[in-house]
A and B are shown apart, each in its own frame.
Chain A
Amino acid sequence: MQSKRTKKLKGKILFILVTIGILHVLIINNGLQTIKSIIQKIYRFVGIMNTDSSMIQIFINGLITGSIYALIALGFTIIYRTVKFFHFAHGIVYAAGAYLAYAFFIFLRINRFISFFLAIIVAALLGVCIDRLVYVPLRKYKTSNLVFLLTSFGVFIFLQNLLQLIFGAQILTLRTGPIKEGHHFLGAVITDNQILIIVSSLVLFFLCWLFIQKTKFGKAIRAVSDDPIGARVVGINSEKIIMIAFAIGSALAGAAGILISLETNIEPTMGFSAILKGIIASIIGGIGSIPGALFGGLFLGVAENLGIWQIQAGWKDAIAFVILILFLLFRPSGIMGIKTEKEKL
């Protein structure tokens, strides 16, 4: 009975994965024009075609940065759910993803997609290594979240400067050819890479959500996050589940780093503001909630871009932190979070 059900489930998941893959390829390669025209028709129908185009551009820019934030927040959330502390070094896994892709693609001249894939795998391994080497001894002592946070800072500083030592402090880029002109879209401009960023982060997001909600491992992750002792009682190896969570979360961070490096330059300090935005996004969305991570990331991205439009680009980080402090003070459970007895601030 059990095996039949899991088989059915596996078949379903495989089917969904294949469809998503096909859709993904279609959208990026050929289907772009069709989808664009469909959306344009919808917009024309609604009658907002000729509204302020800068508004739409800001919104699109917000979605691009927001989808990256959402990916980081998602990885962070998956890890947070199992271990219940702020894994700050997540940001350096993100930066490492970008640098690894650079190393494989530009230094070793491996094929683009293979090198990205390798980079994501090595990033996942890096996350697992951080967990094994640093967090496991701390878990043995049963220390507080604060100690974990500070240790995580230490790991972050160490690895960031290691990256700087290896690759230098100057900015690098994954771009090889000239910059392509973007598509004009409802009066706004969007490039192929930007579309790739939005679509692939949404796809990754959906896959992760399926993984958490539908598979056995996802169920185990949820069990460990709800009640670690209860999970151990029913025979779930929580250390193994934590390792899987670190692998998936870090792979997501690596993917986010690669995606953003298609769009902007790579520098050693890029992980710092990224993880801050990831943490802020997941607190806004409701910490530990997966739809919350998506929502919080997009919300933060759009809010930041609106703020930059109104004020100045340099205030980006300050805006994000003002939003965070407001949320911490007035709605600490976030937009979609549920306040449980234990997790009250």
Chain B
Amino acid sequence: MDYLIHILIIAGIYTILSLSLNLIVGYTGLAALGHIAFACIGAYTSSLLALNFGISPWMGLIAGAILASTLGAIVAYPSLRLKGDYLALATFGLGVIVYSIAKNWVSLTRGPMGLPGIPSFSIFGYQISNVWSYLILVLLFVLLTYIVIKNITNSPFGRILKGIREDEIASLAMGKSVNKYKLIVFVVGAFFAGIAGSLYAHYISFIDPSSFTIMESITVLLMVVFGGMGSLKGSIVGAFLLVVLPELLRFLGMPSSIAAPLRQMIYGLLLVVLMIWRPQGLLGKYKFK
């Protein structure tokens, strides 16, 4: 039972990531492939603050999210000049750079050895170490992310984002400052990704760079595409299905040396099949043009 709850918690964390990536990719149409880099910044910031300075994980979570969104702003600036696959490549590069920093700045992040013993969240002196209470915490954050992004996308602001997605030049002609909107979208997306990273770090209580490889970014993107771009419900469904379904392989009694590559193979195949036959995903209306 605890194992099932564990999977649900991981799925919840992935949902926060896919919801925030959907804002960037699905609603604004910017192909960002380095989303896990923001989660990496959030995770490392809050765990380093907690381990080295004894700062409460709640403060660390906010600090991590703010630092991640600062990085988001830094990324957004050059990305304003690139389009399509070149933007994808540049953000991909960002993911690799952040990963190398986490791996090679040994004096700060302990490199591949990772950071063990990260403390858990606590409310009024009550430690949230029980999986049930952590599940509730994660679901609260999922709800928060959903409400914020839902409100953003349903507002006039969200309509402008969709306008940028459909026709950037037309939006410019309407007098909208496209660059400003792209910047805000990156900052908001990175903020929630930072929260997701921090939640992950305090839940697992151990992080190392291998949790934040570029393959994870592609997995999150797959969740968005699978669920449907521009559909928040789709992102939730996509994240849950893609986390839960591969776990079935383990129940079939496969050793992890076979199950791990098989899971990745399914992801790869799913991406190809989706792109060829159903580029709008399960619940989406919009597809990559």
Contact = CB atoms under 8 A, between A and B. Distances in A.
A149 B85 contact: yes
A185 to B, nearest CB: 32
A345 B83 contact: yes
A157 B221 CA distance: 14
A332 interface: yes
Given A85-B85, A154-B268, A279-B89, A146 B276 contact: no
Contacts of A154: 267-272, 275
Given A154-B270, A318-B97, A322-B93, 20 more contacts: A138-B275, A143-B275, A143-B289, A149-B85, A150-B221, A150-B271, A153-B218, A157-B218, A158-B264, A159-B268, A165-B265, A279-B89, A312-B104, A314-B103, A315-B104, A318-B96, A318-B101, A325-B78, A345-B82, A345-B86
A329 B288 contact: no
Interface size class of B (residues with CB under 8 A): 35 or more
Interface of A: 85-86, 134, 137-138, 143-151, 153-162, 164-165, 168-169, 276, 279, 283, 312, 314-315, 317-318, 321-322, 324-325, 328-329, 332, 345
Contacts of B218: 153, 157
Given A150-B221, A154-B271, A315-B100, A145 B89 contact: no
B271 A145 contact: no
Nearest to B267: A157
B237 interface: no
A146 B81 contact: no
B103 A146 contact: no
29 contacts: A134-B272, A134-B276, A137-B276, A143-B279, A144-B84, A146-B31, A146-B84, A146-B288, A148-B85, A150-B288, A155-B268, A155-B272, A157-B215, A157-B218, A157-B265, A157-B267, A165-B261, A279-B89, A312-B104, A314-B100, A315-B104, A317-B100, A318-B96, A325-B78, A328-B78, A328-B89, A329-B81, A332-B86, A345-B82
B288 A143 contact: yes
A140 B162 CA distance: 27
B262 interface: yes
Closest 7 CB pairs between A and B?
Answer: A154-B271, A158-B268, A157-B268, A321-B93, A161-B261, A318-B100, A154-B272
A145 B218 CA distance: 17
A317 B276 CA distance: 31
Nearest to A169: B257
Contacts of B225: 150
A168 B90 CA distance: 32
A308 to B, nearest CB: 11
Contacts of A315: 100, 104
Nearest to B279: A147
B173 interface: no
B81 A345 contact: yes
Contacts of A162: 261, 265
Given A86-B89, A144-B289, A317-B100, A328 B276 contact: no
